[in-house]
Amino acid sequence: MLIMNKIKHTDVAIIGGGLTGLSLGFYLRQRRLSFMVIEKEDHPGGVIKTFRESGFVFEGGPNTGVIGHLEVSALFDDLYPLCELEIANPKARKRLIWKAGRWEPIPSGIVQAVTTPLFSLKDKIRILGEPFRRRGSDPMETVAQLVIRRMGKSFLDYAVDPFISGIYAGDPESLVTKYALPKLYRLEQDYGSFIGGAWKKRSREKGPRPSREVFSVKGGLDNLINALVAVAGNQSVVSGASACRVIPTEGGYAIHYTKNGQSQVLHAKQVVSTVGGGLIRQLMPFLPADELQRIDTLTYAPVVQVVLGFKRWPGKPLNAFGGLVPSREHRKILGILFPSAFLSGRAPEGGALLSVFVGGMRNPDMLALSDSAILDVVKTEVQQMMKLPAWDPDLVKLFRYPAAIPQYDAESMDRLKAIVRLQMKYPGLYLVGNIQEGIGMADRIAQAKRIADLLNG
């Protein structure tokens, strides 16, 4: 039997207690606005999940982000000492690309750029003309079209395709540059070139510049989540809130949910949804179906992450960030991260921690396989590609994400316009999260700050 509890009031209801929702709570606390985060799972954090087992510290979701926005370093400064930013060890900065049966480093200097076997001689010469090539005029141009036009096919195949796989688990043939890589798009539009534009932008920019360093959190990403919850206060974060529905009311929104078998109602002047595209329809059934259709058709790449821990690493030293596999190489994995090479305390001394990614838009059918079939694939691929003499990992964990990373494809413009129209039609309603403004952790923090500044008490 459902028991009705007393009605609560708040300035802002935040639906979803992942990084976006909790960062938003942090900024609202700074602005002294009242808020409640409503999270359906028993623990906040969303896809961020850290585990500690047998001397390994490993992530089930994201491992690292790129700082990329000033808000990220500022957030960590504000949260210190509740949690501490960890910058990836620069000694393991090298990124590897799989080509013709071996790992090749992505060139980091002019000599390597000339000698690397990753790109064709024709494209190496052609790249010299990149600053002089004409600016593109099609705002819906895909990443693949843009890269071929400006840099050449071998750069698409052996730099951009694996890079897109590493970030989006996606396909450069369907991602639209303007939405998927907006900074790259702007470089061409504003300066006419990637190479010249990057240089000119740097020299013209005044004031602090966001770092491009790779970050995690000392001891695991969930320390960031715990710090955000601690600042919010436990009473402002409701976990295990099922059957959440939002209904517009006079002067705001009523949020109905069930917690411990008790029906709850929260009245909020404003409501911010941070949930994925496909989940909004059920959460907000009052929204017009035609507009919802433009949002909930957002495609998410499915991803499986397999974490492998070795107490004694039997392979060559892992002095790199990780390796990515181009589609053209037709392997069954997307790439391998080496977290113990660039983050402290992730594996016992002399051991190693690897994260192997499988599936994505390239091989979505992999998610239909059983755990043991996926582990067989990972074993074969990792043993061959890392040239391991034997296979005896001390830790094997598998994490499935049927809807991991949103794909900002040709439907993006329609989706973004629908979001704007809905937000105008329903004042005080905000539809955010990874349905817009970037897929990375840093994007989520920057978005939370932007939205917090729009909300009122």
Q: Name the residues that contact ligand FAD, by CB under 6 A.
A: 15-21, 38-41, 46-48, 61-65, 241, 244, 274-275, 279, 283, 303, 305, 401, 404-405, 433-434, 439-441, 444
Between 194 and 401, whose beta carbon lies closer to ligand FAD? Answer: 401
- Cα dihedral: 28, 32, 35, 37 (round 10): 40
> Strand (E) positions, 114-222?
214-217
H-helix or E-strand containing 238?
Answer: strand 237-238
For residue 48, the minimal CB distance to ligand FAD (Å) is: 5
Nearer to ligand FAD, 49 or 311 (CB): 49
Beta strands (DSSP E) in 100-222 are 102-105, 214-217
CB 162 within 8 Å of CB 174: no
Least separation, in Å, of the C-beta of 33 and ligand FAD? 19
Would you say 40 or 362 has its CB closer to ligand FAD? 40
Contacts within 8 Å (CB) and 24+ apart, 25-30 = 25/228, 25/231, 25/232, 25/236, 25/237, 26/75, 26/78, 26/79, 26/228, 26/231, 26/232, 26/448, 27/448, 27/449, 27/452, 27/453, 28/452, 28/455, 29/231, 29/232, 29/233, 29/236, 30/78, 30/452
Contacts of 209 (CB under 8 A, 6+ apart): 202
Residue 148 vs 422, nearer CB to ligand FAD: 422
Rounded least distance, CB 167 to ligand FAD, Å: 7
In the complex, the smallest distance separating the C-beta of residue 68 from ligand FAD, rounded to whole angstroms, is 9
CB of 85: closest distance to ligand FAD in angstroms? Answer: 14
Least separation, in Å, of the C-beta of 63 and ligand FAD?
5
Closest distance to ligand FAD from the beta carbon of 126 (Å): 31
Nearer to ligand FAD, 19 or 354 (CB): 19
The answer to whether the CB of 358 falls within 8 A of the CB of 371 is: no
Q: Give the shortest CB-405-to-ligand FAD separation in angstroms.
A: 6
Residue 47 CB contacts under 8 Å (≥ 6 apart), including other chains: 18, 60, 61, 62, 401, 404
Characterise 341 by phi-psi region: left (phi > 0), alpha (psi -120 to 50), beta (else): alpha
For ligand FAD, which is the closer residue by CB, 377 or 405? Answer: 405
Cβ 175 to ligand FAD shortest distance, Å:
15
Helix (H) or strand (E) holding 336: strand 335-337
Q: Which is nearer to ligand FAD, 42 or 205 (CB)?
A: 42
Query: Which residue lies nearer to ligand FAD by CB, 119 or 179?
Result: 179
Q: Which is nearer to ligand FAD, 151 or 441 (CB)?
A: 441
Q: What is the DSSP letter of 157?
A: I
- Judged by DSSP in three states, 321 sits in coil
Comparing CA positions, the residue from 427, 457, 442, 403 lying closest to residue 23 is: 442
